[in-house]
Amino acid sequence: MLLTDDTFSRFSLWMRERTGVHLPPSKKPLLMQRLGKRLRARSLDSYEDYFEVLRQQEEEQERQIAVDLLTTHETSFFREPAHFAWLESLLQDWPAGTPLSLWCAAASTGEEVWSLAMTLADNLSGQTAWQVLASDVSLACLEQARRGHYALERCGGIGQERLRRHCLKGVEKQAGSMLIGKALRQRVLFRCINLDQPLPPIGPFRVIFMRNVLIYFDPATKNKVVRQATAQLASGGFLVVSHSESLYGLQEELKLVAPGVYRKP
């Protein structure tokens, strides 16, 4: 089945309005590949027919499925390790007893969320209260992240010591997998949040990780997302973006203090 340029433009605009994600023409093959399975599942003859399904009031579940398929969820444990080294150095000087709140704003399937939780648990004193808010626009990804259950082959970045300390190794039917331990799971809250929409009252946060998400927005949306995130930072708080992303020209209030790390005065 072919996807016409006009129909692709309609999908692109729909995604922009619903999630803020920008789908340029180069993403047309990706859209065809990811939504083709839904056409077959719904016995539809064209992408235009599927778009009309998404417009029907009673099809909210299908709309969420489409969003899940069209948003990218590439992630891994302790990805871009320099940022975790930076976080550890911050935590080493963290005043004992001072609460720390951290927001992982693009949680995906949870690997980054649990990497952050492990880092906080390993580097803060037992007298220091801490909590992580994990959010994503994809309900399916959030549910996977909340479960905290992963194939061991995906956990190479964690390291054996951390695996023993924070995870439960699967046995029998669960062999070859691991589950994030209850102590960490109790510290993490999950919420479905669209970064392109007005944010709910969730802050202030001492640290916000918002990595590998700005690259999917157009310049106007990037500016809006960064501005809203900055408003959720406590004074002196830090916003962390990917090494491949930059806030140059987006937010003059924030000051670059390390690669990908910006501080609010």
148-205 pLDDT, tens digit each: 999 998 898 999 999 999 999 888 888 889 999 999 999 999 999 999 899 999 999 9
> Is 34 labeled as catalytic in the residue annotation?
yes
The total number of residues written for the chain in this structure: 265
**Which of 10, 34, 146, 185 is an active site residue?**
34
Domain range list for the chain: 5-70, 81-150+181-263
Question: What is the C-alpha end-to-end distance of the chain, expressed in Å?
Answer: 53
DSSP type of residue 251: -
Nearest to 261 by CA among 248, 243, 249, 235: 243
3-state secondary structure at position 199: coil
| Residue 247 in tokens | 């806030």
Q: Yes or no: say if 228 and 203 are a contact pair by the CB < 8 Å rule.
A: no
> Is 136 labeled as catalytic in the residue annotation?
yes
Domains 5-70 and 81-150+181-263 equal at CATH topology level:
no
What is the residue whose two structure tokens read 């939504």?
35
Which pTM value belongs to this model? 0.84
**Which of 40, 42, 55, 136 is an active site residue?**
136
CATH 3.30.360.10 at 81-150+181-263, yes or no: no
Quote the pLDDT of residue 116: 98
Strand segments (E) across 106-187: 130-136, 149-151, 167-169, 177-180
CATH 1.20.140.10 at 5-70, yes or no: no
CA 68, chain centre distance (Å): 12
pLDDT tens digit sequence for 210-263? 999 998 888 889 999 999 999 999 999 999 999 888 888 777 789 999 999 999
